[in-house]
Structure formats: structure tokens, C-alpha cells
């Protein structure tokens, strides 16, 4: 009986810090597990994040309607769609080889320049943010987000 209690206590002491670590914003903001076919170019640099406040996320109540409807990124701009909490579906439209993907915390999807897409928040507690990347020296312009 004591051995069983010891094993349970050890399991809890081992699992609890891991659980708390994976639930933090720090982990989800720094995780780099891409689940889309498209990848960010290695030389791409982040130049903008929305929401603008560092560490902020969009919720079901605060997400702009434009992200929930068909839109695209600007020419020369890659979007990195990051799920911070809950489940987020990234759907691709028109001329794409990408499958729609469901993102969970610590995972992200990449949207190519000028690629039409939208997101869908699958759970009430979903939080997400978007990072916009471009090549060094590129000045984003034209229609689209980013």
C-alpha cells in the first residue's frame, strides 16, 4: 500500500510541473511546431504581431470579424497563426495544396503571401494571435492583412 502511494506521489510530482509548463503562455508563444505544409523562410523576420500588445491574444469576444471571414495576407508577407489556448481551425481557400488544420497550444500554421484563408475558434476558451513575417528589406504594401 505504501509503495502504491509512493508511486502515485512521484507521478504527480513529475507530471504537475510538465502540465503547468505546457499550459503557460510562455510555452505556447515560443513553441515552434508547424503543422502546415507551408513553412516560413529561414531568413524571414517578424515585423508585426496582432493583437499589438505583447503577450495578448484574441478571444471569441475580441477577435476581429475580418479574421473569421475570407481574407489574405499582403504580397511578400507570411502569416504565422498561433493557438495560445483551446482549439483553433485554420481553413485555406482557393489554389492551395494545404489541408485545413486544427491547431492546439504550442502549434502554429503558416499562411503564404496573398493566400486566402480564415480561422474558426472551436472552443469557448480559445485564444490566438498572428505574427506577420517578411524577408529583410521588404516593405509590406498593397491589399491584405499584415
Q: What is the pTM of this model?
A: 0.74
β-bridge pairing 33-34 and 107-111: parallel
- The answer to whether the CB of 123 falls within 8 A of the CB of 36 is no
> pLDDT tens, 107-144?
999 999 999 999 999 999 999 999 999 999 887 776 66
- The answer to whether the CB of 67 falls within 8 A of the CB of 130 is yes
- The answer to whether the CB of 79 falls within 8 A of the CB of 110 is yes
> pLDDT tens, 42-66?
999 998 999 988 778 999 999 999 9
Amino acid at each position: 500500500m505504501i509503495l502504491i502511494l509512493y508511486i502515485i506521489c512521484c507521478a504527480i510530482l513529475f507530471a504537475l510541473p510538465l502540465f503547468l509548463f505546457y499550459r503557460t503562455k510562455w510555452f505556447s508563444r515560443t513553441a515552434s511546431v508547424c503543422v502546415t505544409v507551408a513553412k516560413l523562410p529561414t531568413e524571414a523576420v517578424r515585423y508585426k504581431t496582432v493583437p499589438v500588445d505583447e503577450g495578448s491574444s484574441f478571444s471569441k469576444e475580441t477577435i476581429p470579424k475580418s479574421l473569421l471571414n475570407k481574407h489574405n495576407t499582403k504580397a511578400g508577407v507570411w502569416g504565422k497563426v498561433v493557438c495560445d489556448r483551446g482549439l483553433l481551425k485554420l481553413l485555406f481557400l482557393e489554389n492551395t495544396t494545404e489541408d485545413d488544420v486544427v491547431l492546439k497550444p504550442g502549434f502554429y500554421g503558416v499562411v503564404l503571401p496573398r493566400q486566402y484563408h480564415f480561422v474558426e475558434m472551436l472552443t469557448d476558451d480559445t485564444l490566438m494571435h498572428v505574427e506577420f513575417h517578411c524577408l529583410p528589406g521588404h516593405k509590406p504594401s498593397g491589399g491584405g492583412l499584415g
